[in-house]
Amino acid sequence: MKLPKKRLLVSPTWYKDNIPKKSFRFEEKDSFDYTDRYQQDIVMNPLVPHHSLQKHLVLYDKTGIPRFALAYMEVAGIFEIYAIQRLRTQYVQISQNKYEWSPALETEANKRFAKELGMFPSEFIMCEFLHRFADEIKSGKPVRLRIYSLVKNKSLIANIYGPIIERFFKPKPIFENEVLTIYELSLDKKRVRAILGLD
């Protein structure tokens, strides 16, 4: 599929132009379970299961597999984004009953998914979040991205949060310490303004 060089900024959703609906779908969930696709006892490098009580916007690929999740809550009139998480989908079968999650295969799978979406999945799900809450955001409700120290590593920042901050948020944090860094949505960013219909 050849990607369009430029999206039509007049579109209400902007980023969905020329993207077949069969390539993706979204679901809103009141909570979410972070797990491996296989049972934990047969995965050699298992993810510690985690049940999150935060609301989630989940992005699925065309096969119905969840690929990315955006965790958020509305706290004191503010949309707080707690995570934009790549989910585990790619495994290598080591033996008859043993699998190993492969970061390399996951990266390649996400590159293919990005081609289908026209942009990286992390940006795609962020666009959808802004579109769904556009009226509230335009009415003055702030959107903040919280990055905790446990996920402050160069790879994650470069691959997920770096581009998100660059395209959607103000470059200077509104709060920062050893545990937490908070960024605020920028209404001056071209993409944000297009999605919210401010131009």
Token output for 9: 């900024």
pTM score of the predicted model: 0.87
24-196: CATH topology is Aminopeptidase (3.40.630)
pLDDT of 22: 78
With a cut of 70, say whether residue 83 has pLDDT above it: yes
Share of residues in the chain with pLDDT > 70 (%): 85
The confidence band for 119, taking pLDDT boundaries of 50, 70 and 90, is confident
Tell me how many degrees the CA angle 128-125-198 measures, rounded to the nearest 5.
40
Phi/psi class of residue 30: alpha, beta or left (left: φ > 0; alpha: ψ in -120 to 50)?
Answer: alpha
pLDDT score recorded for residue 149:
72
Q: Is 3 exposed, middle or buried (0-12, 13-18, 19+ CB in 10 A)?
A: middle
Which pairing describes strands 91-95 and 98-101: parallel, antiparallel, or unpaired?
antiparallel
One-letter amino acid for residue 135 of the chain: D
